């Protein structure tokens, strides 16, 4: 049994400098010395077993279960501390203007902060964004469980087949509680203005937008004609709420008509709404025979989550497409690879003293010709999931997450790209022209039917190789020579980027403009020589 107590970042001063206040909404700030309450219930049991089924040392059954906690990192706290009006203070100190020596050990003199109310923003402000935690935030954790059978099928050959699963519970996730309320009557009124713009159909007598602006034409000119043409209801709602909220009274509407908290732009809420699910069948085969060592591994898996992010930080790009309906975001995770195969081979060449060839060669020749090793690593796996966006704000979006827009509509059935397509003009794309024709824009009030991570990119294939020789000088000294080739076959692998994965320009939809490099592989063949001295 393990118990983890992950502390909560806190301040030893300043709690008395926050004055409680309450607006005309349910958002309240109270003094506290920490961002949220400590979670004392972080018990992490671990259990495992191994059973020699037949008692002959050839067949083993193994299983294990454990709970592992995921602590929130400092970047999350910095987001809350640094973006909330009234809770951060910038200080610039110029040591060269001091009449005495300035030493780090003396501390940096900071101006005192008098006690005063904070966040007393007018109800119609709508420009400031605040980030905050659920005061009852808990430490996210993962259930990990596995069961496998291992069998020596031949001499020096071991086969292992097993199941591995994880369940991520109460994972950190940020949501915008101030998302535009662009459904209900606002949606129906918006569509009536669309109809008026398209064919002159008069809106109904109860149209709230007309009550605010006087005429349908005034609505269109004020909120933007293109927003009605393209169905950008979220952008129109944001424009209405940010620039024309003074007109709410004319329609008998409160300031909370479009936002729950109208004194803010966004209210980013750190919560435990993140979930993840992983299930995998894993098989491995290992064989060692004399000078040859081989291994092969295959994994068939599926990973599902409602948010994929490393470091559990706040990020607008990781907001759900609809903060009021998190189920829409449940899909294959960004890191899901359905099929994954890799193998490795290490062969000690049979040359030198005691080997098949040159077993009686002199020592000086053995130093040169003996002991060489050749290694190869082979990797083949499915591509990563990706999303195609509409580049329109047709619904369910926050004011700050409009870069990519809602999901695109897709009328096709085959969403597995497999291999990229080489077009006659020399370009390389994820989609054929026929597939591009199956995409369309969602209408106002819809987030698109294709969904998050609905498509799978091109597969990844890579072969690395090496040639290694160790020259022993003395008992404690040696020189190791390595000749290595990465992406030996010079095979191009293509990354998933969001640059051309939206419908903004159908002619460039899915167009590939770079190759995969860095830690995920090399964009082209790389060969290097290395010499290491050990002592």
Each residue's pLDDT expressed in tens, for the chain with a length of 535 residues: 888 877 777 765 555 444 454 444 455 555 566 778 888 888 999 999 999 999 999 999 999 999 999 877 666 777 777 666 655 555 555 555 555 555 656 665 555 555 555 555 666 678 888 888 888 989 999 999 999 999 999 999 999 999 999 999 999 888 889 988 888 999 999 999 999 999 999 999 999 999 999 999 999 999 999 999 999 999 999 999 999 999 999 899 999 999 998 888 888 888 899 999 999 999 999 999 989 999 999 999 999 999 887 655 566 556 788 888 999 999 999 999 999 999 999 999 999 888 888 888 888 888 888 889 999 999 999 988 999 999 899 987 654 455 578 999 999 887 876 678 888 888 888 888 888 899 999 999 999 999 999 999 888 999 999 999 999 888 899 999 999 999 999 988 888 876 788 888 888 888 888 887 644 556 789 999 999 999 9
Report the pLDDT value the prediction gives residue 23, as an integer from 0 to 100: 47
Q: Which residues contact 426 (CB under 8 A, 6 or more apart)?
A: none
Closest Cα to residue 395, out of 442, 441, 326, 447?
Answer: 447
Question: What element of type H or E holds 186?
Answer: helix 184-199
Give residue 388's pLDDT: 92
Interatomic CA distance for residues 270 and 5, integer angstroms: 20
pLDDT at position 506 is 81
Say whether 145 sits in a helix, a strand or coil.
strand
Question: What is the model's pLDDT at position 337?
Answer: 94
Phi, psi of 188 (to 5 degrees): -65, -40
Residues 252, 255: Cα–Cα separation, whole Å:
10
Tokens representing 102? 């300035």
CA distance 159 to 355: 29
What is the model's pLDDT at position 11? 63
- 333 burial type by CB count under 10 A (0-12 exposed, 13-18 middle, 19+ buried): buried
Write out the two tokens for 92: 């610039």
Give the 3-state DSSP-derived string for 74-90, with helices as H, strands as E and coil as C: HHHHHHHHHHCCCCCCC
Euclidean distance between CA atoms 257 and 241, whole angstroms: 8
C-alpha span between 70 and 141 (Å, rounded): 5
Q: What is the DSSP-derived secondary structure letter of residue 202? A: P
Q: How many residues are recorded in the chain?
A: 535
Rounded to whole angstroms, how far apart are CA atoms 250 and 211? 7
- 3-state secondary structure string across 344-396: EEEEECCECCCCCECCCCCHHHHHHHCCEEEEEEEEEECCCEECCECCCCCCC
Is residue 93 within 8 Å of 108, Cβ to Cβ? yes
Q: What is the dihedral of CA 151, 153, 154, 155, to 10 degrees?
A: 10
Dihedral through CA 410, CA 415, CA 418, CA 421, nearest 10? -10
Specify the pLDDT at position 519: 44
- List helix spans (H) across 214-273: 216-223, 225-230, 233-243
Number of Cβ within a 10 Å radius of residue 299: 17
Rounded Cα distance between 423 and 414, Å, is 19
> What 3-state class would DSSP assign to 44?
strand
Side-chain-facing half-sphere of 274: CA atoms under 13 Å: 29
> CA torsion, points 115, 119, 120, 121, in degrees to nearest 10?
150
First CA to last CA across the chain, in angstroms?
Answer: 42
What pLDDT score was predicted for residue 514?
83
User: In this structure, what DSSP letter does residue 285 have?
Assistant: E
3-state helix vs strand vs coil in the chain, percent to 5: 20, 35, 45
Q: How deeply is 19 buried, as exposed, middle or buried, from its count of CB atoms within 10 A (0-12, 13-18, 19+)? A: middle
**198 membership: H or E segment, kind and range:** helix 184-199
- Phi–psi pair at 241, nearest 5 degrees: -75, -30
């Amino acid at each position: 049994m393990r118990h983890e107590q992950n502390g909560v970042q806190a301040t030893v001063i300043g709690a008395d400098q926050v004055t409680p206040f309450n607006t005309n909404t349910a958002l309240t700030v109270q003094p506290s010395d920490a961002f949220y309450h400590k979670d004392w219930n972080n018990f992490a049991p671990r259990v495992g077993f191994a059973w020699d089924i037949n008692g002959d040392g050839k067949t083993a059954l193994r299983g294990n279960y454990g709970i592992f906690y995921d602590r929130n990192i400092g970047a999350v706290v910095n987001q809350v501390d640094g973006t909330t009006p009234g809770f951060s203070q910038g200080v610039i100190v110029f040591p060269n203007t001091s009449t005495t020596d300035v030493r780090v050990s003396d501390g940096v003199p900071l101006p005192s902060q008098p006690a005063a109310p904070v966040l007393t923003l007018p109800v119609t402000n709508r420009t400031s964004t605040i980030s905050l935690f659920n005061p009852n935030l808990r430490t996210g954790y993962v259930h990990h469980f596995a069961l496998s059978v291992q069998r020596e099928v031949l001499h020096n050959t071991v086969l292992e087949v097993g199941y591995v699963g994880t369940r991520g519970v109460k994972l950190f996730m940020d949501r915008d509680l101030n998302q535009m309320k662009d459904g209900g009557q606002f949606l129906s009124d918006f569509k009536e203005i669309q109809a008026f713009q398209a064919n002159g159909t008069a809106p109904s007598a109860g149209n709230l937008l007309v009550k605010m602006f006087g005429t349908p034409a005034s609505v269109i000119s004020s909120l933007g004609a293109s927003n009605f043409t393209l169905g950008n209801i979220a952008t129109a709602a944001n424009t209405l709420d940010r620039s024309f909220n003074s007109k709410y009274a004319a329609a008998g509407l409160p300031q909370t008509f479009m936002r729950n908290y109208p004194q803010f732009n966004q209210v980013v809420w750190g919560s435990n709404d993140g979930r993840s699910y992983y299930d995998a069948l894993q098989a491995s085969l290992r064989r060692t025979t004399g000078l040859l060592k081989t291994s092969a591994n295959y994994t068939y898996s599926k990973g599902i989550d409602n948010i994929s992010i490393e470091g559990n930080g706040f990020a607008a790009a990781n907001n759900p497409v609809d903060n009021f309906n998190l189920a829409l975001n449940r899909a294959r995770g960004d890191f899901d690879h359905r099929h994954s195969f890799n193998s490795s081979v290490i062969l000690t060449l049979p040359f030198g003293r005691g080997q098949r060839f040159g077993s009686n060669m002199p020592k000086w020749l053995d130093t040169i010709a003996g002991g060489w090793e050749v290694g190869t690593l082979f990797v083949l796996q499915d591509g990563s999931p990706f999303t195609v966006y509409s580049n329109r704000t047709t619904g369910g979006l926050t004011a700050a997450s409009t870069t990519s827009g809602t999901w695109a509509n897709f009328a096709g059935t085959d969403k597995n790209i497999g291999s990229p397509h080489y077009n006659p003009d020399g370009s390389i794309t994820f989609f054929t022209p026929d597939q591009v024709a199956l995409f369309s824009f969602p209408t106002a009030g819809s987030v698109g039917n294709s969904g998050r991570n609905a498509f799978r990119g091109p597969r990844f294939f890579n072969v690395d190789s090496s040639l290694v020789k160790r020259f022993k000088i003395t008992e404690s000294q040696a020189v190791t020579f390595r000749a290595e080739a990465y992406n030996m076959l010079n095979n191009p692998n293509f990354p998933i980027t969001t640059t051309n994965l939206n419908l903004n320009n159908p002619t460039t939809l899915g167009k590939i403009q770079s190759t995969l490099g860095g830690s995920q592989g090399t964009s082209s063949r790389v060969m290097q020589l290395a010499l290491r001295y050990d002592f």
